[in-house]
Amino acid sequence: MALQELSRHRCFGGWQVFLQHDSAEIGLPMKLGIYLPPAAEKGKVPALTYLAGLTCTEETFLIKAGAQRLAAELGLILIAPDTSPRGTDFPGQAENWDFGIGAGFYVDATEAPWQAHWRMYSYVTKELPALVAENFPVDTGQRGIFGHSMGGHGALICALKSPGLFRSVSAFAPISNPVNCPWGQKAFTGYLGADKASWAAYDASELMKAQAHPNPILVDQGEADQFLERELHPHALEAAAQISGQQLTLRRHAGYDHGYYFIQSFIEDHLRHHAALLK
């Protein structure tokens, strides 16, 4: 699988690289960012995939979160894909910021016209791991995943549905119960159809009720988050963990909102959480 390098930047002794490739799963070009720590020059290292939220791109986390310094110290590759396919001209794809472009929701769409390209779940769990392992020194038995908001939802469902692929998982302010919030209901109706029975396969709380991930999960949530009550529903995740016995640490932080200042504040805890499980 050929990768086209778009840019490369020296960063904390390693390299921040941005790339593009023709995706077989998506059927369109996809962009991603990857941070290679100094340890990657000496051998295989663990890889941690980050899934971004609504309206974001492959650059957002890598520019805003300040994660590379600690990733260099801990010897972690960071992988950040885009949040949706781009390059289509579907009706309605850019009319709303919470559906269509920049809003893939990490599902495999089944409804027209989205099913042709909106296959972010399979991209993240199949094509992307293989692509990165083929081109970079990844220890394929040591993969983790985390994300923010829509990407927190994506990280949780990918790990819960593929625990053998992702040994560690965490999330910042995830959409924890999308079947019961406006963002999720809008996206799932558009991508998956009106039959709500199919939605549970992409709902972290529903998945966690049925089967716990084998390793502890860390979730951070700001109490001043403007989307907390309407969209995020962390209480549903806590209830699901009690049902399945999932080891879940859900921390609530007074004064913190939904943005990247919140992520910057706790990114070290998340990287150390993954490093401990992956090493």
Taking alpha carbons only, the member of 48, 18, 25 closest to residue 126 is 25
Beta carbons within 8 Å of 101's beta carbon, 6+ residues apart:
84, 86, 93, 94
* Other CB atoms within 10 Å distance of the CB of residue 120: 28
Count Cα neighbours of 91 within 13 Å in the Cβ-side half-sphere: 2
Instruction: Give, in order, the Cα–Cα distances in Å from 247 to each of 19, 154, 168, 268.
Output: 36, 19, 12, 20
Catalytic residue (choose from 148, 233, 258, 270):
258
| Annotated catalytic residue 274 | no
Q: Provide the token pair at 265.
A: 């504040």
Residue of 23, 84, 149, 170 marked catalytic: 149
Task: Look at residues 121, 128, 217, 213 and name the one whose alpha carbon lies nearest to residue 174.
Answer: 217
258 given a catalytic annotation? yes
Active-site residue flag, 108: no
Place of tokens 């929701």: 105
Active site residues: 149, 225, 258
